[in-house]
Chain A
Amino acid sequence: MGLLDRLRQLRGVIPDDDIAGRTQALVVRGNEFGFDEFGLSRDSLRGAARVARWLYRNYFRASAFGIEHIPASGRVLFVANHSGQLPFDGLVIGAACFLEPAQPRLVRSMVEYFVPTVPFASYLFARWGQITGTPENCRRLLAAEEAVLVFPEGARGISKSFSKRYQLAEFGTGFLRLALEMQAPIVPIAVIGAEEQAPAINVKPLARLLRSPSFPIVPYPPFLPLVPLPVKYRLYFGAPISVTGDPDDDDEVLDEKVKIVRHRIQGMIQLGLREREHVFW
């Protein structure tokens, strides 16, 4: 029995995901050319979903817990911890919401402002439903009853060095203001595994030189975290948190509510780490 077969046995049978059917079942507000107002196209998404499925099922062998907390419809703000140098955590969360529930859910993550300046990523991200992370965009999608994914740690989270793994960086308050204003429930998500996909240290002088938010290097060729290690992902979806209050309150008032969300995620991370037996399987 080859190593591949052994691995396959280890993780049981891969379900035969009906990608075409699931893509068709997604709610897409497309026009006569097949694009929604943010540039999402069902045809582009179908191709991307096949790759995402392979990464989700075969490469990262992801397990998702708390699937019942993914609402089948209606506005929702997914809030997750961010890590791993490259945003595969966003991809895995998106794949989970697409593949796991009975009714697939399209997740629209808020991406960094530099993404639209990168050739190909600029429009491919849009075709796959990802949006530039402005508050206006988030508001518009929530108003249209869509699901938006935010990483309140932002760049601080994804580029954190290996020694800081699973320690949440500071959360911004923007996501909470949006949730309050749009009266959207928050579904907290803990991602376990992404921290080890690229155990990196941040070379700050080089980052400054290149004017990039970080310059991570990893201790194996090609020394840049271009290809993630085949870690096992574990996703924990928590029960929805409904927040109430005035979105225009001072930061100090909102900080209390942000802390509640942050603690929930930190708690789910601790649980996930306790349940995990090994980084790679």
Chain B
Amino acid sequence: MADLAQPAAGPRKVVITGISGRLGRIVARRLHHELDWQIVGLDRRPMPGRPKDIEHHQVDLRSKKARDVFRTGDVDALIHLGVMHDPRARAAEIYSWNITGTTKLLEYCQAYRVPKVVLLSSANVYGPRPDNPQFLTEDAPLLAAQRFPQMRDLVEIDHLVSTFLWRAQGVETVILRPVHIVGPVHNAPSNYLRIERPPVLLGFDPMVQLIHYQDIANAIVAALAPGQRGIYNVVGPGEVPLSAVLQELGREPVQIPHPVAKPILSLAFRLGLSSFPVAELDFIRYVCMVDGRRAHAELGFRPRFGLRETIHAIDEPA
């Protein structure tokens, strides 16, 4: 992967959506400081404390201003991290933001000849199911929205970009479907692992896969290499039962019988007593693990952090 670090000629320009989030900053920092890319951020949020040489546009992806970023025609890559999944925001607004926003971005990339598009999707799109094989490959159907419609945005964005991958032959499109990203980031699994007394389902203890946030940055860098296109599951250092992760972190799980978990947790969520979204219940019940061999073979991606280091990435200060 290190050999990808050297740009062919001059600094290359990359647009990163969702740059204001923790993961966005980490990716931007990696590309900017270590690999000397020119960074342009697109986010509806401001980006306080940003380095002076990082360009940032606080815009809505659906707006004209977002188009202007691409219009200059010198963008070498788009990294789309800006998938919004705020469980407390209005579903219709998130849906429009995500679906319309992604559609627009893809339009710009095709119209203004951006040669590389990288989407950070998630292995969660396959959905946790009792009849899942232990390791899902990239051609498995995306069934996450079947039991919990809240997962639908994630699946639809992945579908949108997959279609684009086959339709826009001139663009090298890469979809990364990483397992649960762990670190000082705001995503469902990291938020869950930070809860002191996290809910678990009585009698269920699925195997889970985690990946260190720095490893994800590496996977994105690998996907930016010229010539790479396709859909890749991205896995971390291995598989462990959920209980072993919680034990390693010294958490004290609250056992909830599964028939009452949905009503109890949705009530607690509405009352603000719990931050655990009910849509994620099946992720602590059934397996949703993926086979990462394709990313290893084709992108040359291999996680650098071990299991313990990855689990403890949750303790790192932001």
Q: Do A and B bind each other?
A: yes
Binding site for B on A (CB under 8 A): 31-33, 35, 37-39, 113-123, 126, 131-132, 134-137, 140
**Docked pose: A35 CA to B248 CA in angstroms:** 14
Chain B interface SS verdict (over half): loop
The one of A118, A120, A123, A140 that contacts B135, using a Cβ cutoff of 8 Å: A140
- Distance (Å) between the CB of A125 and the closest chain B CB? 11
The 9 A-B pairs at the shortest CB distance, nearest first, are namely A119-B203, A136-B133, A116-B130, A123-B205, A113-B131, A134-B133, A120-B203, A117-B130, A39-B207
Q: How far is the CB of A138 from chain B (nearest CB, A)?
A: 9
What are the interface flags for B171-210 relative to A under an 8 Å C-beta threshold, 1 for contact and 0 otherwise? 0000000000000000000000000000001111111000
List 11 additional A-B contacts (Cβ < 8 Å) besides A37-B134, A121-B203, A135-B133: A31-B307, A33-B307, A116-B287, A119-B204, A122-B205, A123-B203, A123-B204, A123-B205, A126-B207, A132-B130, A134-B132
Q: What is the chain A residue whose CB lies nearest that of B259?
A: A119
Chain B interfacial positions (CB closer than 8 Å to A): 130-135, 137, 201-207, 238-241, 244, 248, 257-258, 285-287, 306-308
Asked if B134 contacts A33 (CB within 8 A), the reply is no
Chain B's closest residue to A131 (CB) is B134
B247 nearest CB neighbor, chain A only: A33
- A20 CB, nearest partner CB in chain B, Å: 22
Q: Which residues of B contact A37 (CB under 8 A)?
A: 134-135, 207, 238-239
Q: Decide if B286 touches A116 in the complex (CB within 8 Å).
A: yes
CA distance A235 to B287 in the complex (A): 34
B287 contacts across to A, CB distance below 8 A = 116
Give chain B residues whose Cβ lies under 8 Å from the Cβ of A121.
203
Contacts of B248 in A (CB 8 A): 33
**A39–B204 CB distance below 8 A:** no
Chain A contacts for B285, CB-based, 8 A: 122
Decide if A123 touches B238 in the complex (CB within 8 Å). no
Asked if residues B134 and A31 are in contact (CB atoms below 8 Å), the reply is no
From residue A42, how far is it (CB to closest CB) to chain B in Å? 14
Please tell me if the beta carbons of A32 and B306 are within 8 angstroms of each other in the complex: yes
Interface CB pairs A-B, < 8 A, 8: A32-B306, A32-B308, A33-B240, A33-B248, A119-B201, A123-B206, A134-B132, A134-B133
Task: Please report the C-alpha to C-alpha distance between residue A123 and residue B308 in the assembled complex, in whole angstroms.
Answer: 22
Chain A nearest CB, measured from B203 CB (Å): 3
Contact A119 B134 (CB under 8 A): no
The reply to whether A119 and B258 contact each other, CB–CB distance below 8 Å, is yes
Asked if A137 and B204 make an inter-chain contact with CB atoms under 8 angstroms apart, the answer reads no
> Closest CB of chain A to B303's CB: distance in Å?
13
